[in-house]
Amino acid sequence: MKSGIIFSFFTGVIDTAHGEKYRKIMKYFIPEFISALVLYSLVGLLDTYFIAGLKSTETYATLGVTNTFLHYMTKFFEGIQVGGLILVGKYNGAGDFKTAGKSFTDAFWVAAITGFVISSMMFFGAYWVYYFCGVPEDMIYLGAPYLRIVAVKIFFMALYLTFVGFMRGVKDTKTPMIIFSIGAVVFIILDYILIYGKLGFPKMGFQGSAVASVIQYLLMFILAAVIVFFSKKNKIYEINLFAPFQSLSRIITLIKLSIPVVIDKCTVAFSYLWLGRMIAPMGKIGLATFAIVKDFERIALIPAVALASVVTLIVSNDYGKRDWVGIKSNAKKIVFLGAFMVSAILIVIAIFPHFFVHIFDKKGDFTDLAVAVIPVLSVLIIFDVVQLILSGAMRGASNVKTVMITRLAVIGIWFMPCSYFLSEVNIENTAVKFMLIYSLFYIGNLIMAIVYITRFRGEKWKTLDPSGNNSK
């Protein structure tokens, strides 16, 4: 007979006989945390801080909307990258280095063509992107020139991520980290110089950030290409970018591998786009508050994001050993660690909201609204922590389809219809309406977490092979 969920959870948290010790979990966690903090979150936060220094609420709100859309695009191309990574890794592991090189060539051209099409659509359809997001007309005309420049970055990002997929496929994870570190430093320096017009450069303001991002990804693409093509250890792959699409079956396999990952990654990213669309009728103040809540959420969730990667690694190894008790014990321990770490950050933000909001709201336009909603939403973010870590555990246990289907169902059946209904309801108190709409997103995360917990408490999750199909 199964024990109660709460009792079972705390039993797993203090379990010293099964799963990894907390010391071992922290050993995996620290490098992932540093990478997530320094290489990814810090860059975006510094850019946001520089833009906030322009003391324009419209610009800050427009950046928030744009970053939400760009996050969606990034997840899309990350999904495509994974397909190439899997194929390259498969053939590399089998010692078929020439086919691994051909797989990279195929993945490169799929990404190049897709990237060119999407970048072109962004460039010529910049106005309609913001129109879909429902932002005010003045913000559309502020953001459209920015997005046209960033469209060029998206193309180079698609190419760069393909090279990263190849390097990871041949078990080189250090080089992508070094390249991104170089690109991040260059971006931060240029971002500051171009936004404020330092060292003799013209003051470009908002568009300076876009130009800096284009240079960043162009540089990273060039560095990645030089390393892949001129490194002696890569000669065995006989890479020839001018001989793509030699195998139709390989192209079909690449697409089949990429589509589920693209759907999974883009589903949650789209939910933020939709959330912004529902908040847009509140005007620039509502959108600026949406931007700062997302920024604080990103800061708070850094430990959870790192732990989600850790749990996937640990569970995948335990799954291979069929250590079912160990998997559950590790998942509970990591959920506990994530909830504790994120809660500590959220408590500090919730106690001193005025201080943190003022960092980004120099004029005080949206401080009152942000301060009113942040403490309440901080409590609900814990649902996202549980969902993030358990979805990572599900992937480690080969239940990738469970994660994809759950996310699609919750976002499509619960979050989108309910948030649309609330956005149409006449609620005079802006803070209440904002919190209700945003809360639906976190409640959706709770529903996902419940699905994953129910799955783990059953038996079917134990019978899947690495591709996610039933092994029996």
Residue 167 sits in the same domain as residue 31: no
Cα(243)–Cα(254) distance, rounded to whole angstroms?
Answer: 16
Residues 6+ apart with CB under 8 A from 381: 297, 300, 301, 342, 346, 442
Residues 282-315 pLDDT 10s = 989 999 999 999 989 988 999 998 888 888 878 8
Does residue 172 fall inside a structural domain? yes
Residues 6+ apart with CB under 8 A from 392: 307, 308, 309, 310, 311, 312, 315
Residue 360 sits in the same domain as residue 239: no
How would residue 1 be classed by pLDDT, with cut points 50, 70 and 90? very low
Residue 391 sits in the same domain as residue 467: yes
Give which of 386, 367, 391, 378 is closest to 297, Cα–Cα: 378
Does residue 342 fall inside a structural domain? yes
The residue written with tokens 């890479």 in the block is 239
pLDDT higher than threshold 60 for residue 390: yes
The residue written with tokens 């990103």 in the block is 298
Average pLDDT score over the chain: 87
Residue with more model confidence, 395 or 406 = 406
Share of the chain above pLDDT 90, in %: 41
Task: Report how far Cα 273 is from the mean position of its chain's Cα atoms.
Answer: 13
Residue 13 sits in the same domain as residue 129: no
Domain boundary among 252, 275, 310: 252
Residue 5 sits in the same domain as residue 69: no
In angstroms, the Cα distances linking 425 to 40, 60, 278, 393, 419 are 37, 27, 11, 38, 10
Residue 102 sits in the same domain as residue 235: yes
Q: What secondary structure does DSSP assign to 409-428, as a single string? A: HIIIIIIHHHHHHHHHS--S
pLDDT higher than threshold 80 for residue 117: yes
Cα(73)–Cα(148) distance, rounded to whole angstroms?
Answer: 14
Domain boundary among 252, 273, 291: 252
- Secondary structure, 3-state, 424-459: HCCCCCHHHHHHHHHHHHHHHHHHHHHHHHHHHHCC
Cα(274)–Cα(284) distance, rounded to whole angstroms?
Answer: 16
CB 193 within 8 A of CB 201: yes
Coil vs helix vs strand at 73: helix
- Other CB atoms closer than 10 Å to residue 104's CB: what's the count? 30
The residue written with tokens 């690109």 in the block is 183
First to last CA, the chain: 25
In this prediction the pTM is 0.82
Residue 37 sits in the same domain as residue 60: no
pLDDT at 40: 65
Residues 336-363 pLDDT 10s = 999 999 999 999 999 999 999 998 888 8
CB 135 within 8 A of CB 273: no
Domain boundary among 252, 279, 311: 252
- Other CB atoms closer than 10 Å to residue 98's CB: what's the count? 12
Residues 6+ apart with CB under 8 A from 318: 19, 326, 327, 330, 396
Residue 181 sits in the same domain as residue 156: yes
Cα(395)–Cα(266) distance, rounded to whole angstroms?
Answer: 16
Residue 67 sits in the same domain as residue 46: no
pLDDT at 170: 79
Domain count, the chain: 2
What domain range includes position 137?
54-252
Residues 315-324 pLDDT 10s = 877 877 788 8
Does residue 287 fall inside a structural domain? no
Residue 321 sits in the same domain as residue 467: yes
- Residue 466 burial (10 A CB sphere; 0-12, 13-18, 19+): exposed
Residues 127-157 pLDDT 10s = 998 888 888 888 888 889 999 999 999 999 9
- Other CB atoms closer than 10 Å to residue 312's CB: what's the count? 18
Residue 47 sits in the same domain as residue 59: no
